Structure 1
Amino acid sequence: MAVALLFGGTSLDASAQESRPHVLSILSYDDPAIAISDDARSALKEVGFTKCSMPFGVLIGADEAMPDAYVQATINVVAELLDLDGDG
């Protein structure tokens, strides 16, 4: 099992958060809702990270062996750390 946190990318302001509810969801590495480069998508595929999310610009990747509950917990913790007052 593997999970990775990669910092960078673009953060979303409150209005962008509201229009992108998937921000705290588990998505596939090839989902266009994750705003990453083609090189980043290829790298995720190459290492087998099929589960991804990008809360507030932090790319989280995990392989199929990682339970969804663990990936979601990671997403929630990262989001809470970056947005302490929960206002997006």
Structure 2
Amino acid sequence: MTIELLYFAWVRERIGKASETVSPPADVATVADLIDWLARDSAVHAAAFVDRGRLRAAVDQTFVPLDAPLGSAREVAIFPPVTGG
């Protein structure tokens, strides 16, 4: 499975890019698994994802909790909480 990852706001700044395409292993089943897998393989991702409580996600443009299954996701966005003004 190939997933397009999108990063926004300070997550994008810490990782140093707005997007990337990844092919996670079959045991990556949830958004949290994906974040863990990325953090294990990259110090930059590990630093950006250190405080999981400050992360939000969307799978195929639908907001989801981090424990949501990836299913056949084509796109996963990771971003800080959205605030209004």
For the aligned pair, the TM-score class normalised by the smaller chain equals 0.3 to 0.5
Give the TM-score of the pair, scaled to structure 2. 0.33
Structure 1-normalised TM-score?
0.32
* Higher percent of residues as helix: 1
